[in-house]
């Protein structure tokens, strides 16, 4: 499992669901959650009892989705919490669907929360924390109560619009967001299945290769969203066993470079974990690392470690691979030079520390991951002495025009001196 890190799983602005309910440090947003509910009801000309009744009907089913939740959580408070939190999520997603135009939803131009992008962005981060989830079928049930003209977009479409691979890459995929929606909706329709929650949907968008709309990679992820206890909504507040990855190990980026390995940034960086190695070239889609990357990856990995088979845990496999490639700031610098990594952190050393800290708590076997074959290919190539000698020759003697000129001049000087030594006396 992913090593416990309190800050990574604890919301910073808003509590959603039962795990952080009543947290004193998050009480400041409670008033605004109720204010959002009132704004939504007023806009839709509805009454709150419709929403309360809809959740009361499925309360037992929802409770079964949460592990480690106190049995004495009062029914009335539990239902009220689900309604308030779910409607708040829907309002945040809808406002972002309209490009943060919350005025369109009826909020003041200078709203203390909804007019400030840095606050709504922070809330969006909190919405995909593993311990801050509301089951998707609850969101869908409440969203369905709205008048038809107020729910032109499904909950899935609203979530995908916000949580798509643009978060992890620089590539603009606005045209592919619609394709992602179609792919996931089609897969769910064909298999009569659904998604667990917002974090699950976000992960699924990272799995999809839009060049192959019906890719089997999605088959393992979509599940019956109404199966009790299957939603992966458990507290992550327990320390997990820390184990170093077993199996094939590969050298760091700088050491691989010395053996002749070339790192090539792939233009089509979607999905970002699709790494290939052929003929000494490691092709890696570009990844963008910023202040929010650690939190995002830790929550994705925590979800995978608990609910996804090892061979399907692509995010975990990807972080394990990065950890092997990056041992120091010089390794990061090499990958930055090759356009594989783009980061906004203070230094390459900070990036190296972040990547290595992400992998510390991974309980992971290389043989079970999606890069098992890649590790074998890399080791086979890097262990060939001819590749090593050739790379050293290129680095030492052909790294620049001046080095090449110096080598030629030295060879000519040696040739002429040899002629003089063995010529007629």
Task: Please tell me the predicted confidence (pLDDT) of residue 193.
Answer: 52
Task: Please tell me the predicted confidence (pLDDT) of residue 274.
Answer: 87
Between the two ends of the chain, the Cα-to-Cα distance in Å is: 80
Nearest to 100 by CA among 124, 84, 83: 124
Task: Please tell me the predicted confidence (pLDDT) of residue 69.
Answer: 81
Task: Please tell me the predicted confidence (pLDDT) of residue 417.
Answer: 65
Please state, in angstroms and rounded to a whole number, the distance separating the CA atoms of residues 17 and 19.
Answer: 6
Kind of pairing, strands 281-285 and 262-266?
parallel
CA 270 to chain centre: 12
Helix, strand, or coil (residue 67)? coil
pTM for this predicted structure? 0.80
Number of neighbours of residue 6 by Cβ within 10 angstroms:
8
Please state, in angstroms and rounded to a whole number, the distance separating the CA atoms of residues 95 and 89.
Answer: 10
> Is the bond preceding 271 in cis, omega lying within 30 degrees of 0?
yes
Task: Please tell me the predicted confidence (pLDDT) of residue 414.
Answer: 65
CA 421 to chain centre: 68
Helix, strand, or coil (residue 82)? helix
Per-residue pLDDT of the chain (425 residues; tens, 9 = 90+): 444 566 788 999 999 999 999 999 999 999 999 999 999 999 999 999 999 999 999 999 999 999 888 778 999 999 999 999 999 999 999 999 888 999 999 999 999 999 999 999 999 999 999 999 999 999 999 999 988 777 778 888 889 888 876 555 555 445 555 666 666 666 555 554 557 899 998 888 887 654 443 433 332 222 233 333 445 565 554 444 434 444 458 999 999 999 899 999 987 656 778 899 999 999 998 888 998 899 999 999 999 988 888 888 899 999 999 999 999 999 999 999 999 999 999 999 999 999 999 988 677 777 778 898 999 999 999 888 556 666 666 666 565 565 556 656 666 666 666 555 555 55
Task: Please tell me the predicted confidence (pLDDT) of residue 320.
Answer: 92
CA 351 to chain centre: 16
Please state, in angstroms and rounded to a whole number, the distance separating the CA atoms of residues 325 and 206.
Answer: 21
Q: Name the E strands within 200-300.
A: 262-266, 276-278, 281-285, 287-289
Number of neighbours of residue 63 by Cβ within 10 angstroms:
16
Query: Got the DSSP string for 318-385?
Result: HHHHHHHH-SSHHHHHHHHHTTSEEE-SS-HHHHHHHHHHHHTT---BGGGSTTHHHHHHHHHHHT-H
Find out whether 261 and 394 touch, Cβ atoms under 8 Å: no
Task: Please tell me the predicted confidence (pLDDT) of residue 151.
Answer: 74
Kind of pairing, strands 276-278 and 262-266?
unpaired
For the purposes of burial, counting CB atoms within 10 Å of the CB of 47, is it exposed (0-12), middle (13-18) or buried (19 or more)?
exposed
For the purposes of burial, counting CB atoms within 10 Å of the CB of 60, is it exposed (0-12), middle (13-18) or buried (19 or more)?
exposed
Task: Please tell me the predicted confidence (pLDDT) of residue 216.
Answer: 34
Find out whether 204 and 221 touch, Cβ atoms under 8 Å: yes
Go through 12-43 and write b for each residue having 16 or more CB atoms within 10 A of its CB, e for each that does not: ebbbbbbbbbeeeebeebbebbebbbebbeeb
């Amino acid at each position: 499992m992913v090593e416990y890190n309190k800050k990574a799983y604890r919301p910073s602005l808003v509590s959603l669901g039962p795990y952080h309910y009543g947290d004193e440090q998050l009480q400041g947003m409670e008033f605004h959650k109720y204010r959002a509910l009132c704004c939504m009801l007023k806009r839709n000309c509805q009454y709150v009892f419709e929403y309360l009744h809809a959740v009361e009907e499925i309360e037992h089913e929802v409770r079964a989705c949460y592990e480690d939740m106190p049995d004495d959580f009062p029914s009335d408070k539990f239902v009220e919490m689900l309604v308030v939190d779910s409607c708040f999520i829907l309002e945040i997603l809808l406002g972002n669907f309209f490009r943060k135009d919350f005025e369109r939803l009826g909020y003041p131009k200078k709203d203390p929360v909804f007019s400030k992008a840095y606050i709504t962005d922070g809330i969006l981060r909190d919405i995909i924390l593993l311990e801050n989830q509301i089951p998707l079928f609850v969101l869908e049930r409440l969203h369905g109560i709205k008048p038809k003209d107020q729910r032109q977009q499904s909950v899935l479409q609203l979530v995908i619009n916000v949580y798509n691979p643009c978060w992890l890459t620089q590539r603009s995929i606005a045209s592919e967001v619609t394709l992602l929606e179609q792919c996931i909706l089609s897969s769910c329709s064909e298999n009569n299945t659904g998604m667990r929650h917002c974090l699950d949907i976000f992960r699924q968008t990272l799995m999809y290769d839009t060049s192959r709309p019906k890719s089997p990679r999605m088959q393992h992820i979509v599940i019956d969203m109404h199966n009790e206890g299957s939603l992966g909504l458990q507290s992550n507040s327990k320390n997990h066993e820390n184990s170093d990855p077993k199996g094939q190990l590969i050298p760091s980026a700088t050491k691989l470079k010395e053996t002749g390995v070339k790192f090539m940034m792939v233009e089509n960086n979607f999905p970002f974990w699709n790494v290939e190695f052929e003929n000494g070239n490691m092709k890696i889609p570009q990844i963008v690392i910023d202040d929010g990357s650690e939190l995002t990856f830790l929550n994705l990995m925590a979800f995978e470690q608990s609910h996804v088979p090892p061979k399907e845990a692509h995010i975990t496999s990807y972080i394990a691979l990065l950890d092997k490639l990056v041992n120091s700031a010089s390794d990061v610098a090499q990958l930055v030079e090759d356009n594989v990594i783009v980061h906004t952190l203070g230094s390459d050393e900070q990036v190296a520390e972040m990547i290595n800290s992400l992998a510390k708590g991974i309980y992971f076997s290389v043989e079970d991951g999606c890069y098992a074959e890649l590790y074998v290919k890399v080791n086979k190539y890097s262990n060939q002495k001819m590749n090593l000698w050739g790379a050293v020759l290129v680095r030492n003697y052909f790294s620049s025009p001046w080095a090449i000129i110096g080598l030629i001049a030295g060879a000519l000087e040696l040739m002429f001196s040899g002629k003089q030594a063995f010529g007629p006396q």
